[in-house]
Amino acid sequence: MGVSFYPVGNGAPTLRWKMAASQTIAKGDPVILSSGLVAIAVANSSAAILGFAAESVTSAASGNYYIDIWLAKGDTKFKATASTTVAITDFFTATASCFDLAGTTGSFTVNLAASSQDIFQVVGTPDGIENGTLSTTCYVIVNKRYLLD
C-alpha cells in the first residue's frame, strides 16, 4: 500500500524526534508521543497526534533511533485514503463529530463510518467532489483537540 498520510501544498514542518523502543513505523503513519518518544498511533485511540512519519524506520528494543516527522500543526492539510467514498456531506461534519483513524502501520485510513474519537476533519478531495467525482482520497486536517501545543 502507498503512503497513508502525505502533506499537501507547501507541506508540513519537519522535525527529527527520538523513537520509543520496538516500533515499526512506515512513511505516512500517524505518530504520537509516548513518554516523550515517538510511537505509532493506534486506531480508535484518543492520543494527541504529533504528526506523520516522513520516513520508514524500525527501532530495536534498545538503542537510539530517530525519525523525521511531518508535524500536524494548525490547518496543515494531509492527503489520506478514506475507508469509503467521500460524500459531499463529509465536508459539513462539525468539528465536534469528525472522523476516526483506522488501520495499522503502512495502511492507515480515515474511517468515515466512525466518529467516536473525532480526529480528522475532511476539507477537500483532489478532484473536487463538487464536480460529482467519486473518490476515496481526501484532504484532512487534524482536529485541533488532538494537536499537541
Superfamily of domain 5-71: Head decoration protein D (2.40.300.10)
pLDDT of residue 38: 95
pLDDT per position in the chain (149 positions), as tens? Answer: 578 899 988 778 899 999 999 999 999 999 999 999 999 999 888 788 899 999 999 999 988 999 999 998 877 889 998 888 777 666 666 655 688 899 999 999 988 888 888 888 888 777 665 555 556 787 888 876 666 65
pLDDT of residue 115: 82
pLDDT of residue 74: 76
Q: Enumerate the domain spans of the chain.
A: 5-71, 78-146
Round to whole Å and give the CA distance between 149 and 140.
Answer: 19
Residue 95's Cβ-count burial label (10 Å; 0-12, 13-18, 19+) is: exposed
